[in-house]
């Protein structure tokens, strides 16, 4: 298991659509372990997508359980989602988001309050999960990376909703 280097905007891989994964394999499993280690090593890291470490696969890892916002709400603990698709979503919330690949900024972003997601888990088994609150936001944020979108692409007003961090977080 290893901590992988995080790609930072404007790295071109962050703007490309990722390719589907065929399913679980020893190579995919080893990569998932490294992806989770990388997420857990990052300050405040609650999610990560494969393109953020330079791998153009449709894989995300999310775990909000240790974060102050996520620990107050129901959550699934560590989720590894391969080829995730949102089946349904509802409600709206505006949340302050940051990203390991955009360490100098945070922004207010409008997201769904809940999502229903179909994906393969880390063992290649099809699963459907419903997520709410902060976990739903983290899933949507990471899934955007799979389509070449950054939270910056969802900012309604750069003047009113984009904020420079006082001290940028360092990517691992």
The verdict on pTM exceeding 0.85 is yes
| Residue 120 clears pLDDT 90, i.e. is over it | yes
Predicted confidence at residue 43, as pLDDT, reads 86
Active site residue 22: no
Are the C-beta atoms of 113 and 127 separated by less than 8 Å?
A: no
Domain that holds residue 128: 12-164
Residue 140 maps to a domain = yes
Distance of CA 144 to the CA centre of its chain: 8
Q: How many domains does the chain have?
A: 1
CA distances from 43 to 10, 47, 171 (A): 21, 11, 8
Structural domain contains residue 7? no
Longest dimension (CA), the chain: 46
- pLDDT tier at 172, thresholds 50, 70, 90: low
Catalytic residue among 22, 97, 135, 142: 142
Report the pLDDT value the prediction gives residue 66, as an integer from 0 to 100: 87
Give per-residue pLDDT as tens, 10-33.
Answer: 999 999 999 999 988 999 999 999
Token representation of residue 85: 């698709």
The CATH number covering residue 75 comes to 3.90.45.10
Rounded average pLDDT over 62-77: 86
Identify whether 169 is part of a domain.
no
């Amino acid at each position: 298991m290893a901590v992988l280097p995080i790609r930072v905007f404007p790295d071109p891989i962050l703007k490309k659509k990722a390719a589907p994964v065929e399913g679980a394999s020893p190579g995919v499993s080893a990569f998932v372990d490294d992806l989770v280690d990388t997420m857990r090593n990052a300050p405040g890291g609650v999610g990560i997508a494969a393109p953020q470490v330079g791998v153009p696969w449709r894989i995300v890892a999310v775990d909000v359980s240790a974060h102050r916002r996520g620990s107050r709400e129901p959550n699934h603990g560590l989720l590894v989602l391969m080829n995730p698709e949102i089946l349904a979503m509802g409600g709206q919330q505006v949340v302050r988001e940051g990203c390991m690949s955009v360490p100098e900024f945070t922004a207010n972003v409008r997201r769904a309050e809940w999502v229903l997601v179909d994906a393969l888990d880390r063992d290649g088994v099809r699963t459907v999960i419903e997520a709410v609150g902060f976990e739903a936001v983290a899933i949507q944020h990471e899934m955007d990376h799979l389509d070449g979108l950054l939270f910056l692409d969802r900012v309604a007003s750069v003047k009113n909703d984009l904020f420079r961090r006082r001290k940028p977080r360092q990517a691992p």
